[in-house]
Chain A
Amino acid sequence: MRQIDPDFLALPLRRLADAALARARELGAEYAAFRLERVRAETLRLFDAKLEGSIDADDLGFAVRVVKNGTWGFAAGIALTPEAAAAVAEQAVLVAEVSAPINREPVELAPEPVYADVTWVSAYEVDPFEVPLREKVELLAGWSGDLLAQAGRVDHVSASLMQVKEQKFYADSAGTVTTQQRVRVHPQLTAMRADGERFDDMRTLAPPAGRGYEYLTGTGWDFPAELATLPELLAEKLAAPSVEPGLYDLVVHPSNLWLTIHESIGHATELDRALGYEAAYAGTSFATFDQLGELTYGSKIMNVTGDRTAEHGLATVGWDDEGVRAQSFDIVTDGTLTGYQLDRRMALLKGLGRSNGCAFADSPGHPPIQRMANVSLRPAEGGPSTEELIAGVGNGVYVMGDKSWSIDMQRYNFQFTGQRFYRIVDGRLAGQLRDVAYQATTTDFWRSMDAVGGPQTYVLGGAFNCGKGQPGQVAPVSHGCPTARFRNVRILNTVQEGGK
């Protein structure tokens, strides 16, 4: 198991925390939390096997959040001295005081045990920042070159690799002190071709992962094997017929379904949205709090959990950014809404007891807000394979890979496209289709799910860049799911939608 980097531990973590928390107490704060973070990110982008650009950047700083007379105050700074930490604590208290005239709802936090001095490191083997840049460029350029060598089938290839190492030190006025480090990587390659008047592309389905550089060298994904399939898949897509719009049965592969889960379940079951805190921006939720335990979200075979514990999950941590230990919890049970994602304030506000640990800040300059856990659809024990699910469809479409997505501000109406769509005729795949999008209302869609695949079909998908909040924050999150089948879903022809 990897250890937290010594150069992070060598920063004056406790001295700054002590100075900030002491100053906040002196100024009358009833609660204070200090968080110091270093987030290092490196992104490489290649086009046609040539490096277009790379940047190795970090974000180092600290924040103090207080509750003073029932009002939040938050301030962030960058000078790593005890004096600066105390000054930032003073600013946080000042912000609380200036904000007091517009606060009508006193802040109180759900209780949480104290974790006096705990550490956590995510499951990875090779720190991507210990791998020379040239080696990473050569790997991506080699893969790109292999695709470009398919003359006549691939015109261009784009490749990218995002790598992040996130280090957090947290200390609060209750006595909790956590130190954590996690790593994530996201390689992507896209093959492109123009065929007469048509242009199209085909992207790898490899999801981002809470893993290290070993993910690119054979652990967790076989990139060479997937890349070898792209030229043929792209050629078939370019030659495919345009879809006839209408109602079809869908079989959705996890590489596409993860995003539908993210948008229609993950965001819809964030309690801050249900309570209206995001109403002016990300939106609210049709899954209002009064429907907890009552709402029929989906069919009886729908079971959804939230967790911050899944190995290699992008939202996986040891403790959240309010010092709450990572947990796993139910969101939808046998088709019924049974839980929300919480932070400490909302957990107490709605009488739900302890927070389930979903507070997260994406940088030292932002306050923690309620962010998404790894929200995942449970497979059916002993359930069918993807082929068996397809075999149960007479006239349908099989969907793989994510692409375009959009959903309304209450998470009712969504529309998704994908990397590839296959026609299903009499239980068998009958070639790819073009110009496909599926569109549905969330509860109609999940209530139409008549089969979920077994554990053998389960894949952990996800994204680095889930956006929420103002100021805007991005969060990484994973979603695991099996292949699943849905009946009578509306399919659009995107060319016809464009009026062509």
Chain B
Amino acid sequence: MTPQETVERALALPGADDRVVIVDEGSSANLRFAGNTLTTNGVARSARLTVISIAGAGVGVVSRSAVRDDQLADVVAAADAAARDARPSEDARPLVDGFAQADWDAPVEPTSIDVFAGFAPALGETFATAEASGRRLYGFAEHLVNTVFVGTSGGLRRRYDQPTGRLELNAKSPDMARSAWTGVATKDFSDVDVAALDGVLARRLDWAKRRVDLPAGRYETILPPTAVSDLMIYLYWSAGARDAADGRTVFSRPGGGTQVGERLSEAPIRLFSDPRHPGVECVDFAVAHTSGREQSVFDNGLPLDHTDWISGGTLSNLVQTRHSAELTGLAATPQIDNLIMESATGAGGLDDLIAATERGLLLTCLWYIREVDPQSLLLTGLTRDGVYLVENGEVVGEVNNFRFNESPVDLLGRLTQVGVSEQTLPREWNDYFTRAVMPPVRVPDFNMSTVSQAS
């Protein structure tokens, strides 16, 4: 049975008042390596059927993997029974209007180990080059193709085919004292030049041959796009409208309500999501396997469009469902699987920011980022894989790592320079979020709370 047939059969069975049926078809291939050699690898397939049954305002959700044809009716019956037994859901709304997508019937095209047919030999050659030059390479290459099918008893039929690829490449000196990292997002690995990436890392390991120890303190700091992405993604994940309206987040207005409409930064910063943004295209309708603070099963299939979260430095929207939008009096703006930050006055790339620095720190990336205080969105974490000292426009050596304590919301108000945005791979969050376009930025007083001995 094809995924489309599964959707139709699950919807056609008698029982609930309404149903939403989601089928997720996935395929993956990966290579992992350490010390210039393979460590693990694999290919996998997955198939998941999620039946959301609605009886009155009650909802039942049952999700099963690898469902055989003869098991379909049991899964649907279990969801129907759960719906009949459920209390009314407060997010209950009419299902999204029917819409039949033109390519609904197209077959799924999975990935396979063949996606690395060109990349694996190139990686092997790069290992040999690195070994001969005294570098050890570590990292991970993964390719996923996930197709989601959403059908409703109201006639909606939507699908999205999402290829996702990423390569993380980490070079270390043989004594592990020096480390450099780079990463790229890709759709199919055909555009990945691993030798060139290794060249970038070799340059950075050379930078690190001169070591400068600095104490904790506040430093002028250049954050590259990947570091900015990890901070902004945390901000985005903390931008739920309901929690803000309940007074629990940095976006809560003292005394009640949210801060939508309030200025966060004097800089003309725009933070937005757009499922059709070039290079980071993503699913353009809402998909919710269960309801929660920021998603509703009743919104399945809701079209997603360009959404400004911050515009001109002002908070514009928060992540929410149709239900929470009624509670907050704001627009229904569900989460979208990409994030773009731009400045209207953004100019120059990372090298330009370095060149314009009299004395400051250049980060590679951030790591182990965790929330310390939700009300200020104070985050803690570590610098990783190279903190460089810049003097008179040039990198002059490597500095020790630091633990930082900073709020990304507060940082937005302190930026003194923002460069041109580019697609980047988040270092910390790329397990969950790979589609990001971010600028390099300059912060005059980044809070390095303590020194980390890690290298």
Contacts and interface: CB of A to CB of B under 8 A. Distances in A.
A63 B40 CA distance: 14
B293 A404 contact: no
A197 interface: yes
Given A280-B139, A280-B140, A281-B140, A57 B34 contact: no
Given A95-B42, A280-B34, A472 B373 contact: no
A179 interface: no
Nearest to A279: B138
A283 interface: yes
B96 interface: no
Contact of B452 (A61, A98, A284, A413): A413
B292 A413 contact: no
Given A280-B170, A281-B140, A497 B372 contact: yes
Interface stretch (A46-54, A226-234, A312-320): A46-54
B380 A365 contact: no
A498 B43 contact: no
B176 interface: yes
B395 to A, nearest CB: 22
A58 B247 CA distance: 35
Contact of A56 (B82, B138, B382): B82
Contacts of A284: 176
Interface in B222-281: 246-248, 252, 254
Contacts of A198: 375
B376 A413 contact: no
B431 A72 contact: no
B47 interface: yes
Nearest to A196: B254
Interface string A410-435: 11110101000000000000000001
A426 B248 CA distance: 36
Interface residues of A, number: 89
B327 interface: no
A109 interface: no
A99 interface: yes
Contacts of A134: 85-86
Contact of B42 (A56, A103, A201, A367): A367
A406 B452 CA distance: 12
Interface stretch (B56-64, B153-161, B207-215, B328-336): B56-64
A407 B140 CA distance: 22
Interface in B62-78: 62-66, 68, 78
Contact of B372 (A73, A105, A494): A494
A74 B431 CA distance: 20
Contacts of A276: 34-35, 136, 138, 172, 176
Contacts of B31: 99, 102
Contacts of A194: 247
A492 interface: yes
Contacts of A411: 454
Contacts of A102: 31, 33, 37-38, 120, 123-124, 127
A472 B140 CA distance: 11
A408 B403 contact: yes
A72 B38 contact: yes
A407 B113 CA distance: 35
Given A50-B87, A412-B454, A498-B407, A471 B30 contact: yes
Interface stretch (A76-84, A164-172, A379-387): A76-84
Contacts of B123: 102
B410 interface: yes
Interface range, B side: 35 or more
A283 to B, nearest CB: 7
Given A61-B66, A99-B120, A279-B172, A367 B40 contact: yes
Contact of B453 (A280, A404, A412, A497): A412
Contact of A45 (B63, B292, B375, B407): B292
B42 A410 contact: no
Interface stretch (B9-17, B363-371, B433-441): B363-371
A115 interface: no
Nearest to B68: A80
Interface string B112-129: 010011001101100100
Contact of A75 (B43, B136, B139): B43
B3 to A, nearest CB: 13
A279 B371 CA distance: 24
A404 B380 contact: yes
A157 B134 CA distance: 56
Nearest to A59: B65
Interface string B389-417: 00000000000010101110010000000
Contacts of A405: 370
Contacts of B138: 276, 279-280
Contacts of B345: none
Contacts of B162: none
A369 interface: yes
Interface string B162-184: 00000011101000100101000
Contact of B454 (A57, A283, A471): A283
A105 B65 contact: no
A281 B449 contact: no
**Quick one: which of B39, B45, B291, B401 has the most chain A CB within 10 A?**
B39
Given A133-B85, A415-B380, A406 B370 contact: yes
Nearest to A158: B293
Interface centre among B34, B293, B410, B455 (most CB of A within 10 A): B34
A439 B403 contact: yes
B101 interface: no
A265 B438 CA distance: 36
Interface string A10-36: 000000000000000000000000000
A418 B29 CA distance: 40
Interface string B425-455: 0000001000000000000000101111111
A78 B65 contact: yes
B169 to A, nearest CB: 8
Contacts of B139: 280
A10 B259 CA distance: 56
Contacts of B407: 498
A410 B455 contact: yes
Interface string A267-302: 000000000111111011010000000000000000
B378 A470 contact: no
A457 B336 CA distance: 47
Given A95-B113, A439-B450, A60 B370 contact: no
B190 interface: no
B373 A495 contact: yes
Contacts of B30: 470-471
A218 interface: no
B46 A365 contact: yes
B61 A74 contact: no
12 contacts: A43-B290, A53-B291, A75-B44, A98-B116, A102-B120, A105-B37, A132-B85, A198-B375, A413-B452, A435-B373, A470-B32, A471-B142
Interface of A: 43, 45, 47, 50-61, 63, 71-80, 91, 94-96, 98-99, 101-105, 132-134, 137, 155-156, 192, 194, 197-199, 201, 276-281, 283-284, 286, 365-367, 369, 404-413, 415, 417, 435, 437, 439, 441, 470-472, 490, 492, 494-495, 497-500
Smallest CB-CB A-B distances: 10 pairs: A74-B42, A280-B138, A280-B170, A53-B291, A57-B63, A76-B44, A410-B454, A78-B66, A104-B37, A497-B405
Interface of B: 28, 30-48, 50, 61-66, 68, 78, 82, 85-87, 89-91, 113, 116-117, 120-121, 123-124, 127, 136, 138-140, 142, 168-170, 172, 176, 179, 181, 246-248, 252, 254, 289-293, 297, 367-376, 378, 380-382, 384, 401, 403, 405-407, 410, 431, 447, 449-455
Given A80-B66, A279-B170, A409-B454, 16 more contacts: A52-B292, A55-B61, A55-B62, A55-B290, A57-B50, A76-B42, A78-B47, A98-B120, A99-B120, A201-B248, A276-B176, A286-B454, A471-B28, A490-B450, A498-B410, A499-B447
